[in-house]
Structure 1
Amino acid sequence: MSFRRGVVRQSKFRHVFAQAWKTEHCIDDVRVSRVTWDSPLCAVNPKFIAVIIEAGGGGAFLVLPLSKSGRIDQSCPTVCGHAAPVLDIQWSPHDDNIIASASEDCTIKVWHIPDGGLTSPMTDAIVTLEGHSKRVGILAWHPSALNILLTAGCDNVICVWNVGTGELVYQLTDTHPDLIYSVSWNKDGSAVCTVCKDKALRVIDPRRGTVLKVREKVHDGTRPMRAVFLSDGKILTTGFSRMSERQLALWDMSDLSEPMAVQEMDTSNGVLLPFYDPDTNMVYLCGKGDCTIRYFEVTDESPYVHFLSLYSSKEPQRGAGFLSKRGVDVNKCEIARFYKLHERKVEPISMTVPRKSDLFQGDLYPDTAGLEPSLLADEWIAGQDAAPLLVSLSGGYTAPPAKHRDTLRSKPRLVSQDSGSGAASPTAGSVTTPTFSPSPAARESEEESPLPRVSMRETDGNSERPKKEDDLLNELLTEMKALRAVVLAQSQRIELLERQLARIEDGDV
């Protein structure tokens, strides 16, 4: 089924318009990487923008505070610890200072960027993950479980890591017969969808290593495809028709026999990179080498995928970064922001709903995913699933202080310098690889240690004392609950490993 731009319908996003920022707010003299890999080459969060750049003798990417603009000096420090070009970078959804990078040198590295940005070149990662035999080009952080990172390489293998321990927890070696083009987690992180050079769409349970659903020939063309899970469980794919026309298709997980909708666009050969906003259910298509960004709204009404508009400019894009909703300007009804990569420039582009009121527009900004993870890594490994924890954007977003959650923030035992270099010393209680990280229990007690020192004396007298005591009690109960969950998860993990060991000893494997 093919459809063109349809009838006029009611939607608060129908008049969304894109506007490029003025020249003085762009970032100039950025030597954007010329690598031929089809990744966005850019990653953005409310604190930083990271861009993969040209680098002699290895791989590097630039990290700048989001407020930075103007010309970038060639001596500006970079993250440059890879031995070959960097192919993909992704910020952690649960810590705005943590970024992962994947490289042609077959490794994945995780870095801690200090507040304010780099003051000297960063060469030592806090974690280096080694398990792929060929270059690694795809990174995907788990949406709700802390420190779970999925990677895919040109060895056709998918790896799932616990970054907090450096442990390879799952490795899927037989699910793909050819090069993997893209991987996307579903909303609660219980499954991933992938597209591959064999033209098939697969839905996979990464913990069991099983393929749940397969659809052969999602798109007939031979050019690379992309797939992204939508928040309601549907899957959106981009690819090429047999006649080399670029296509967008929507699939229902319960029945992959036919697409719910197909839209054909043009005959350009640039791969369409989909950027999905789960809060508004909008999809932005940004093609490499294109001068345009198309945007659509996905609804439950036929024809399901509704073309909204198209942003067009004179210069083609080398890649693009998509800012998480926590970073947009809610006072200006900005619902999305792109950072478009030119050959030597980074240009912000705002997507805005035209409204006259200065009041917070609650219908444009439903609660969005915050920094607090729903699960610890061990809880997810033990079989638990949970959707991301949401926060309100009313009045703009401010990050809460770190609580009991296990993070990769710079701490004396994890990072020896504020630049993120150095290694951790072993800590009793770590799961498998204690050199990378203290155990979750140790981290939690470390995070919570200041609590007993909370002063009970307030300027309002004794009226505030019960509230402080309640807060302290709630914090301690929360910590106890988290520790119990960790103990349970570790017990289940030990049982699983013991069963696997018994099978090996019995000759079943």
Structure 2
Amino acid sequence: MSRFVRPSKYRHVYPNVAKKEACYENVKVSNNAWDTNLVAANGKYISINWNASGGGAFAVLPVNRPGKLNDIYPLCRGHTATVLDTAFSPFEDNFVASASDDGTIGLWKIDDANFDQLEWSDKERERNGGVKDFEPIARVSGGGRKIGQVVWHPTASNVLAAATGDHVIKLFDVSNASTAASSPSISLRGFTDTIQSLDWDWTGTTLIATSRDRKIRTFDPRQGENPVQVADSHGGIKGARVVWCGDKDRAITTGFSKMSDRQMFLWDTTNLAGGPLKQVTLDSSSGIIMPFWSDNSIVFLAGKGDGNIRYYELENDELHYLTESKSSEPQRGLTFVGRRFLNTDDNEIAKAYKITGTTIQPVSFCVPRKAEGFQSDIFPPAPSAQPALSAAEFFGGKRAPRNMLSLETGKGVSSSGSVPTASAAAVAAPTPATARPASPTKTAAAPAPAAASTPAHSVSPVKPSPAPAAAPQPAVGSEPKAAPAPAAVSTATPTSNGSSTSSSEVADLKAAIEKLRTAVEERDTKIRHLEQENETLKANQRKAREALLNSLRRAGEEDEVQR
């Protein structure tokens, strides 16, 4: 055993757990068993999957309003089933996306003025007709089955990746709600089981994902729908997660072995087939490990049901254990905020929000330093709120490094990460070698398959509209070798009849759908009113109980005095 201790700036990182007055209490966390973090946050808001009746809902909490939440709290409502995941846009602090079990994505713009109602008295709330919930600005259909995770693109604005229940990752341009609602811009396939986790690389060029089929996959979304690389991952089927290691070509996964040991793997993303570079067995607990990456080359590991948060430093492809934050209160969910929201005056290198019971507890990770002033060695530039690309530029094939800012001055600086041109795709082409390597130059003349694959992404969700046009085609195709004249004659009459009947059927379906939507909205409104009345009754009951106990206590004290 070595007598020397490895030097590290982060060896003595310590957790600074917020006191009770800085926590958020009376939080009603969703009891759904779906594996997500349950909570998301930036420097302005915290979103949390809410335990609500009358359709799915989630709550948005202003960071600057800690304390006990009102019994009746304004919620983001618009889903007809449980909300499974939420994510804040990296470029708009007020813009949040939600994923639901009803197969839709909700897009929300949070209005700060709506939180003024938190200061209302009971009479003011009654006078204003109760608490006003948030409404989505748009709802995007994901294809009918549940949407399990949503992840924003790191460099392009309004680009959202969503993992669907039919084992497809869909990329949406949400800058135009009507366009996003019609179809995804890109669909990534190749999964044979539930998608468990996904993440983007530093520049948003490559996407990496884990699934229940024990595989890890990488995609270059603009090169095709099939994975560029596929490799065997953790042996257990339970809860595998993945996180990209910042501007490095490394990724970290957490999962379980066949013997149910919790593991952490380090991967070279340019050569997944070579297996993990490093394997770490953590313990034999049953909680799913949630990994979080910090640009200080630190990975934080938080287990569901655990009270501790461990952290490791990545250096020269070695994962060095630093220490852990210990607590007797187990966490149900956890999230970390972006680095541009950190408090550099306290040498805070990371900040998390931890769900314990009905409380959200802020936890800061700080580096002890005697010197005052900005510590540049522990605060590298952070990704800024300025996107490098628009959604149209991204889907058009353009690449760009992240826009960065100095945490000392708040001004923009040059990005440290390079834009990969063919790093992942070229190295990973061994399996799809026949389709990929030729695409940059020679396949330009032969994109017959490429042209077919591109529409395939947009055709799959848009099948309802081409249906009328597709109906006449079988009539023509049924006699492909017949003379043109009969084919033209046979097509003429069915076209008009088919279009008239199909248009009337479509109109009837639209009317029925609208009627159902109205009925669902009315039902949800009634349930929400009943929920508010129930919460009011509970609050009044609690006040009456406290008043009765106080009166009994005073009566007892008076009896003691008289005696």
Q: Work out the CA distance in 1 between the residues paired with 2:114 and 2:292.
A: 26
Residue 33 of structure 1 contacts residue 54 of structure 1 at CA under 8 Å; is this kept in 2?
yes
**Distance 1:13-1:127 versus aligned 2 partners, 3 A rule:** same
1:201 is aligned to 216
Q: Work out the CA distance in 2 between the residues paired with 1:21 and 1:350.
A: 8
1:25 is aligned to 22
SS at match of 1:379: helix
One-letter amino acid of the counterpart of residue 277, structure 2: M
Q: Work out the CA distance in 2 between the residues paired with 1:312 and 1:14.
A: 16
1:334-365 Cα shifts (integer Å, max 9, x gaps): 01111110111111111000012220111111
**Distance 1:24-1:324 versus aligned 2 partners, 3 A rule:** same
Q: Confirm whether residue 295 of structure 1 aligns to residue 311 of structure 2.
A: yes
Q: Work out the CA distance in 2 between the residues paired with 1:398 and 1:61.
A: 34
One-letter amino acid of the counterpart of residue 392, structure 2: D
Deviates more, 1:318-327 or 1:375-384: 318-327
Q: Work out the CA distance in 2 between the residues paired with 1:176 and 1:499.
A: 19
SS at match of 2:97: strand
1:162 is aligned to 173
SS at match of 2:227: strand
Q: Work out the CA distance in 2 between the residues paired with 1:86 and 1:352.
A: 33
- Consecutive unaligned residues of structure 1, counting only runs of 5 or more, are 400-494
Residue 153 of structure 2 contacts residue 159 of structure 2 at CA under 8 Å; is this kept in 1?
yes
Question: Superposed, which structure 2 residues align to 1:440-451 within 5 Å?
Answer: none
2:101 is aligned to 104
2:148 is aligned to 137
Q: Work out the CA distance in 1 between the residues paired with 2:265 and 2:160.
A: 27
One-letter amino acid of the counterpart of residue 167, structure 2: N
**Distance 1:378-1:50 versus aligned 2 partners, 3 A rule:** same
Question: Superposed, which structure 2 residues align to 1:102-251 within 5 Å?
Answer: 102-115=99-112, 118=115, 119=117, 121-166=132-177, 167=180, 168-172=183-187, 174-207=189-222, 208-216=224-232, 218-230=233-245, 231-251=247-267
Deviates more, 1:161-170 or 1:290-299: 161-170
**Distance 1:165-1:224 versus aligned 2 partners, 3 A rule:** same
1:283 is aligned to 299
Q: Confirm whether residue 85 of structure 1 aligns to residue 82 of structure 2.
A: yes
TM-score, with structure 2 as normaliser = 0.68
Residue 48 of structure 1 contacts residue 65 of structure 1 at CA under 8 Å; is this kept in 2?
yes
**Distance 1:251-1:6 versus aligned 2 partners, 3 A rule:** farther
SS at match of 2:96: strand
SS at match of 1:210: coil
Shift of 1:90: 0.3
Q: Work out the CA distance in 1 between the residues paired with 2:283 and 2:200.
A: 28
Shift of 1:15: 1.1
Q: Work out the CA distance in 2 between the residues paired with 1:174 and 1:73.
A: 44
Identity of aligned pairs, percent?
36
Residue 249 of structure 2 contacts residue 270 of structure 2 at CA under 8 Å; is this kept in 1?
no
Q: Work out the CA distance in 2 between the residues paired with 1:398 and 1:345.
A: 36
**Aligned match of 2:319 in 305, 310, 314?**
305
**Distance 1:16-1:267 versus aligned 2 partners, 3 A rule:** same
Q: Work out the CA distance in 2 between the residues paired with 1:101 and 1:499.
A: 27
1:360-415 Cα shifts (integer Å, max 9, x gaps): 111111111011000010100010112220011115x599xxxxxxxxxxxxxxxx
**Aligned match of 1:338 in 336, 352, 355?**
352
**Distance 1:500-1:133 versus aligned 2 partners, 3 A rule:** closer
Where is the helix percentage greater, Structure 1 or Structure 2?
Answer: 2
2:331 is aligned to 317
1:300-325 Cα shifts (integer Å, max 9, x gaps): 2x5x1111111110110010121111
Residue 38 of structure 2 contacts residue 333 of structure 2 at CA under 8 Å; is this kept in 1?
yes
Shift of 1:124: 2.4
Residue 188 of structure 2 contacts residue 226 of structure 2 at CA under 8 Å; is this kept in 1?
no
**Aligned match of 1:272 in 289, 295, 299?**
289
Shift of 1:48: 0.9
1:492 is aligned to none
**Distance 1:101-1:365 versus aligned 2 partners, 3 A rule:** same
Q: Work out the CA distance in 2 between the residues paired with 1:499 and 1:78.
A: 39
SS at match of 1:331: helix
**RMSD value over aligned CA atoms?**
2.5
1:168-194 Cα shifts (integer Å, max 9, x gaps): 343436311110001111111111001
Deviation >4 Å, runs of 4+:
4-7, 495-501
Residue 43 of structure 1 contacts residue 321 of structure 1 at CA under 8 Å; is this kept in 2?
yes
- Consecutive unaligned residues of structure 2, counting only runs of 5 or more, are 118-130, 413-449, 460-468, 474-563
**Aligned match of 1:8 in 5, 10, 25?**
5
1:448-504 Cα shifts (integer Å, max 9, x gaps): xxxxxxxxxxxxxxxxxxxxxxxxxxxxxxxxxxxxxxxxxxxxxxx9799959xx9
Q: Confirm whether residue 68 of structure 1 aligns to residue 65 of structure 2.
A: yes
Q: Work out the CA distance in 2 between the residues paired with 1:7 and 1:194.
A: 38
1:223-262 Cα shifts (integer Å, max 9, x gaps): 1201112121211110111211100010112332221111
Residue 221 of structure 1 contacts residue 240 of structure 1 at CA under 8 Å; is this kept in 2?
yes
Q: Work out the CA distance in 1 between the residues paired with 2:297 and 2:400.
A: 20
Shift of 1:5: 12
**Distance 1:117-1:13 versus aligned 2 partners, 3 A rule:** farther
Residue 333 of structure 1 contacts residue 353 of structure 1 at CA under 8 Å; is this kept in 2?
yes
SS at match of 2:283: coil
**Distance 1:371-1:497 versus aligned 2 partners, 3 A rule:** farther
Q: Work out the CA distance in 1 between the residues paired with 2:58 and 2:41.
A: 13
Q: How many residues align?
A: 401
1:46-78 Cα shifts (integer Å, max 9, x gaps): 111111111012111111211211110112211
One-letter amino acid of the counterpart of residue 262, structure 1: Q
Q: Work out the CA distance in 2 between the residues paired with 1:143 and 1:68.
A: 28
**Distance 1:398-1:103 versus aligned 2 partners, 3 A rule:** farther
**Aligned match of 1:356 in 357, 370, 375?**
370
Higher RCO (CA-CA < 8 Å; seq separation 6+) = 1
Q: Work out the CA distance in 1 between the residues paired with 2:196 and 2:387.
A: 27
1:91-138 Cα shifts (integer Å, max 9, x gaps): 000100100000111100110012366345334211211032211111
Shift of 1:7: 6.5
Q: Work out the CA distance in 2 between the residues paired with 1:310 and 1:213.
A: 34
SS at match of 1:82: coil
TM-score, with structure 1 as normaliser = 0.75
**Aligned match of 2:40 in 31, 40, 43?**
43
SS at match of 2:296: coil
Residue 94 of structure 2 contacts residue 111 of structure 2 at CA under 8 Å; is this kept in 1?
yes
